[in-house]
């Protein structure tokens, strides 16, 4: 490609710098919003993997004060507890580990977990029923194990902890969809600005284009500077968006959440920005080239 093509592109950017700056800023905002949406989705996926892998099947046994219909016969007998334990042993290797927690142990654990909460003073031994805590080798088989004990003699309830996290994940998914929707709207604005930039540049250089046509310049030679201008503006906006995403992720996750919560938490990090960065760069190049090609074909008949 001749150096004069790049010189022509630079001259076009210089002449239409106000519009070029607008394209850069709108592209930056739209890709930043899109990047936030993609990072939010990665956060959801990581949280699901982190928490779902730690979801245990909790089989709560009946106590004398249990109000569940299955506990009308009173507290679970030792035979009923032994029956549940034996059935869990038969479900190996799906059942990886089983831990029985008595009422006293449940009470002590609750006091430790909520030692700074006023709830701790209102709970007594026996308020939390004894339970079997079951660790699964495959968390996706939660329903298989849980359904085997629902309604079993002496079993008060088998709560589905996955359903506890489901509303949180749905809320984050909705936020992600909103961010992607806003990004789509701003991307449309970026496309329109790119098209306007090309039309303005073509109008400004209409005499030069006419002369180039008279001396036999090819269509590619005439059109390439316009495409380079658009791609350059888009790439600058994309790089600014990626930099802003990295700063945001580093500040929120690396510097604040990870240092506050510890390394074992289910958070993404600034490194995830580099995972989505290539897609943002490739996407903006394709968008710029496509917009330029269509606009030039429609408004620049050469």
Residue 181 has a pLDDT of 82
Cβ contacts of 123 within 8 Å, gap of 6 or more: 107, 110, 111
Measured CA to CA, the distance from residue 57 to residue 113 in angstroms comes to 19
Residue 243 has a pLDDT of 95
Would you give per-residue pLDDT tens digits along the chain (302 residues)? 555 656 666 666 666 677 778 788 888 888 898 888 888 878 877 776 666 656 678 899 998 888 888 888 888 899 999 999 999 888 888 888 888 988 888 888 777 766 655 666 777 777 788 889 888 877 767 778 888 888 888 898 888 766 766 676 677 778 778 877 877 887 787 788 777 777 776 666 666 666 666 666 666 666 777 778 888 888 999 999 999 999 998 888 877 765 445 444 567 788 889 999 999 999 889 988 888 888 777 766 54
Domain boundaries, the chain: 3-51+164-299, 55-160
Residue 263 has a pLDDT of 44
pTM score of the predicted model: 0.62
151: left (phi over 0), alpha (psi -120 to 50) or beta: left
Fold of 55-160: Alpha-Beta Plaits (3.30.70)
Residue 264 has a pLDDT of 47
Residue 270 has a pLDDT of 84
Residue 52 has a pLDDT of 62
Chain centre to alpha carbon of residue 78 = 47
Residue 118 has a pLDDT of 62
Cβ contacts of 195 within 8 Å, gap of 6 or more: 291, 294, 295
Structure tokens at 88: 């869990």
């Amino acid at each position: 490609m001749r150096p004069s093509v790049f010189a022509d592109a630079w001259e076009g950017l210089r002449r239409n710098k106000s519009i070029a700056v607008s394209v850069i800023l709108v592209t930056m905002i739209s890709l930043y919003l899109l990047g936030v949406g993609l990072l939010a989705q990665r956060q959801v996926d990581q949280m699901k993997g982190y928490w779902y892998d730690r979801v245990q099947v909790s089989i709560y046994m009946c106590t004398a004060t249990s109000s569940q219909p299955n506990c009308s016969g009173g507290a679970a007998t030792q035979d009923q507890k032994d029956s549940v334990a034996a059935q869990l042993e038969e479900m190996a290797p799906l059942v990886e580990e089983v831990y029985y927690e008595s009422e006293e142990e449940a009470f002590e654990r609750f006091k430790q977990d909520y030692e700074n909460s006023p709830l701790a003073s209102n709970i007594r031994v026996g308020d939390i029923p004894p339970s079997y805590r079951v660790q699964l080798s495959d968390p996706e088989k939660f329903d298989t194990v849980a359904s085997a004990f629902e309604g079993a003699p002496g079993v008060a309830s088998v709560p589905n902890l996955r359903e506890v996290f489901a509303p949180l994940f749905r809320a984050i998914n909705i936020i992600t969809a909103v961010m992607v929707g806003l990004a789509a709207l701003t991307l449309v604005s970026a496309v329109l600005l790119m098209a306007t930039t090309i039309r303005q540049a073509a109008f400004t250089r209409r005499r030069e284009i006419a002369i180039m046509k008279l001396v036999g310049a090819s269509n590619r030679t005439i059109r390439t500077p316009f495409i380079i201008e658009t791609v350059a503006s888009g790439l600058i906006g994309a790089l600014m968006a990626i930099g802003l995403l990295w700063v945001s992720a580093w500040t929120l996750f690396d510097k604040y959440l990870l240092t506050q919560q510890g390394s074992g938490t289910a958070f993404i990090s600034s490194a995830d920005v580099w995972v989505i960065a290539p897609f943002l760069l490739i996407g903006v190049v394709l968008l710029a080239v496509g917009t330029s090609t269509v606009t030039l074909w429609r408004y620049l008949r050469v």
